[in-house]
Amino acid sequence: MCKKHRPINCIVPPHVLEQMLKSKDQRVADAALRTIIISERIRGEREILGPVRSAVFANGVGQKRRSIHDAEHQRLPPSLLPGKLVRTEGQAPVTDGSVNRAYDGLGATYDFYKSVLGRNSIDDHGMRLVATVHFGNRFNNAFWNGSQMVFGDGDNVVFKDFTRSLDVIAHELAHGVTESTAGLEYHNQSGALNESFSDVFGSLVKQFSNNQDVNQADWLIGKDIMGPEFTGTALRSIKNPGSAYTNDPNLGTDPQPKHMNDFVTLPDNEDGDFGGVHINSGIPNHAFFLVAKSLGGKAWEQAGKIWYDALKQLFPLATFQDCADVTAQVASAKFGAGSIQHEAVLNAWDRVGVRVTPPQPVLAPVERVAAASNGSHAIGLRERLVELSDELRVTADQLSLQ
């Protein structure tokens, strides 16, 4: 049995921070080192403390309830999070843009789940949405710790304030949705699916908030947090994984694959990003994009609902094959076998190198008995069953004549 990881789900993956350590810009390297050290400490605390979700964050009333806190540039341990309360539900905007963006981002995410998917907050039980801004000093990340969001301010070279990107906020909150549904374990293919669902729903929240169709959407994750010396377009691309940046002086080249032929095998540990969960997520990401693009219109209306229903049916150690099979089953159940939606799902997974497992035919009782045996014995058994049926029918006819 594998060890169940209790990660802090960060938007900036380890391979990016490690690449930044090699930067010739000392500002970038220093900020990356600081972020890695802090992240390792937080991860260690998470492993020791276990699940940190608390009933204090639940209300069950089905209403939007947000609270934004300020870490005041301190690296607060779990016992001191979320920090100083600076804005709560219904209060007017404050002078701090980070506070207001976090407040609005939490609200937009809540609205998406409630309006589109009928979900009562992140855990579907009215969980209060909590966020902490200004975490640490030049902290290059944003993360979900199991009960709340935490945002760094970035180094203002490669990354800017992490509250600037709605898809980043929604991505991290989606980890809470996954925890409350499939519970996808954070390693190898199940971990890559965990990251992929967060990218997908992060993008859908942004598209829903901006009322964009599949052609208007940019399908990028983190475009708005990229700093002034970044030469690419975003942190990741769902439309075309592996194209978000190329030969950037600080980040190198986007390593995400979009086909199983390019699946990356990495160690299942922290150094290997638990099997490359942030890298191989490009494959299911691209599958979702292909479905959405094929169906057209607003991606959350059909493709998004298929993926959400599938997430609720998946399980902790689900693989890409499992996800392909379940999304196909959902599409067939919702829209009909052979429907446009069903075919779109089949074709999309096939294009990323995952062939959906054909459904097994439902056999009649005699056929099931015959199929349980092999070769001539199966044929003989079936023939004998037919003979017995004929004999019973003859006997019944004789009894009726007496």
| 334 inside domain | no
Name the residue with higher pLDDT: 146 or 256. Answer: 256
pLDDT exceeds 70 at position 61: no
Of 283, 318, 347, the domain-final residue: 283
Q: Is 5 a catalytic residue?
A: no
Count of helices and strands (H, E) across the chain: 12, 8
Of 229, 260, 283, the domain-final residue: 283
Q: Which residue is catalytic, options 172, 179, 185, 195? A: 172
Sheet strands (E) in 199-352:
220-221, 236-237
Model pLDDT for residues 118-176, shown as the tens digit of each residue: 999 999 999 999 999 999 999 999 999 888 999 999 999 999 999 999 999 999 999 99
Contact 147, 130 (CB under 8 A): yes
Please state which of the ranges 44-48, 196-200, 343-347, 373-377 shows the lowest mean pLDDT: 373-377
Are residue 262 and residue 374 in the same domain, yes or no?
no
pLDDT exceeds 60 at position 401: no
Of 283, 298, 333, the domain-final residue: 283
- Collapsing DSSP to helix, strand or coil, 73 comes out as coil
How sure is the predictor about 370, in pLDDT bands with cuts at 50, 70 and 90?
very low
Are residue 42 and residue 154 in the same domain, yes or no?
yes
Which strands sit side by side in the sheet containing 84-88, from one edge to the other?
Answer: 9-10, 142-144, 149-151, 129-133, 66-70, 84-88
Q: Alpha-carbon distance 169 to 122, whole Å? A: 12
Q: Which residue is catalytic, options 69, 175, 187, 278? A: 278
Q: Alpha-carbon distance 402 to 394, whole Å? A: 13
Q: Which residues pair with 220 in a beta bridge?
A: 237
Are residue 387 and residue 239 in the same domain, yes or no?
no
| 323 inside domain | no
Q: Is 195 a catalytic residue?
A: no
Are residue 371 and residue 246 in the same domain, yes or no?
no
Are residue 58 and residue 154 in the same domain, yes or no?
yes
Q: How many domains does the chain have?
A: 2
DSSP 71: -
At 266 the pLDDT is: 95
Q: Which structural domain, as residue segments, surrounds residue 392? A: 365-401
| 59 inside domain | yes
| 390 inside domain | yes
Are residue 278 and residue 386 in the same domain, yes or no?
no
- Collapsing DSSP to helix, strand or coil, 256 comes out as coil
| 333 inside domain | no
Model pLDDT for residues 70-86, shown as the tens digit of each residue: 999 999 988 899 999 99
* Pairing outcome for strands 236-237 and 129-133: unpaired
Average pLDDT, the chain: 88
* Pairing outcome for strands 149-151 and 129-133: parallel
pLDDT exceeds 80 at position 400: no
Secondary structure (DSSP) of 94-155 = -S-HHHHHHHHHHHHHHHHHHHHH---STTSS-BPEEEEES-SSS---EEE-SS-EEE----
Please state which of the ranges 21-25, 156-160, 377-381, 390-394 shows the lowest mean pLDDT: 377-381
For tokens 């902790």, the residue is 316
| 3 inside domain | no
| 341 inside domain | no
In which element (H, E) is residue 285 found? helix 282-295
Identify the CATH number of the domain in which residue 101 sits. Answer: 3.10.170.10
| 170 inside domain | yes
At 381 the pLDDT is: 42
Contact 264, 192 (CB under 8 A): no
How sure is the predictor about 375, in pLDDT bands with cuts at 50, 70 and 90?
very low
Model pLDDT for residues 325-343, shown as the tens digit of each residue: 999 999 999 999 999 999 9
At 383 the pLDDT is: 52
Name the residue with higher pLDDT: 5 or 283. Answer: 283
pTM: 0.87
Q: How many CB atoms lie within 10 A of CB 231?
A: 12
Longest dimension (CA), the chain: 104
pLDDT exceeds 70 at position 382: no
